[in-house]
Structure 1
């Protein structure tokens, strides 16, 4: 079963890390660490006038499973809203902990990690990138004052 977990598909996703690095001037930054294994994700985002992810960078130091999740996330995250990221996180948690089907839509690729459900010690490392992304987006939204959001929306 462990060989299936580290399939060629998972290893391929782990090797392809879209948007690796950091943003020079992020609107928000999220950092998550899986305490059990030390997997860590640092995510920077900037948002457009509508609150969608406009720019994204991730610095992920994780096992193959955490890197695979970050690879899928990085390939799909540009243009996502906070609601889409939240829904993906909730669907991932349900998939890992309660037999759920997994994320739909732009983040459906995360379903490739369904077998991780059988390995609870790997859940946290699989979640670090999406959790850090959600934190970064929420921070970026909080930094936009209501006055700024109104004036930006009027300019569009």
Structure 2
């Protein structure tokens, strides 16, 4: 028998997403949507001189798993570079596909383990990372245009 999908920890995370507000004058802004479930995450980032995230604003419209994943990402994102976010997203995606044994090293990632069996939820779980990475890309394009 599989583990319960919507555990108390997942639900606790889902209602405790930090940085839930849009940023004025963000360096990069992006929206990511899941065609599978309709979830949506909008991310605004401000970058420090070393190109790591100094401020984050997110808006999340997703299932409890997507919200929990957004809470994990938002808790850890400040101070992280694009490469660090991309590496974490890849490890999580590889875990969900069965390639990795761990969902990642960030605090609370272990709460996503039960979602591995629910392929239809994978897109929502990865969505916050996709939005942040797209915001980094938008910031780079903004820099090139300046």
TM-score, normalising length: structure 1: 0.86
Verify: 1:125 aligned to 2:124, yes or no: yes
**Cα distance in structure 1, aligned partners of 2:95 and 2:141:** 29
Q: Partner residue of 1:17?
A: 17
Q: Partner residue of 1:102?
A: 103
Q: For each residue in 1:28-53, what CA deviation from the matched residue of structure 2 results, as whole angstroms up to 9, or x when unmatched?
A: 11211111211100000010111010
Residue pairs, 1:7-156, within 5 angstroms: 7-100=7-100, 101-104=102-105, 107-145=106-144
Larger radius of gyration: 1
What's the C-alpha RMSD, in Å, of the aligned pairs?
A: 1.8
| Stretch deviating more after TM superposition (77-86 or 91-100) | 91-100
Q: How far apart are 1:143 and its partner, in Å?
A: 2.5
Please state whether the residue corresponding to 1:72 is helix, strand or coil: helix
Structure 2 unmatched runs, 5+: none
TM-score, normalising length: structure 2: 0.91
Greater helix proportion:
1
**Cα distance in structure 1, aligned partners of 2:134 and 2:95:** 21
C-alpha contact 1:10 1:64 (8 A) present in aligned 2:
yes
C-alpha contact 2:3 2:114 (8 A) present in aligned 1:
no
Please state whether the residue corresponding to 2:79 is helix, strand or coil: coil
C-alpha contact 1:10 1:112 (8 A) present in aligned 2:
yes
Q: How far apart are 1:137 and its partner, in Å?
A: 1.5
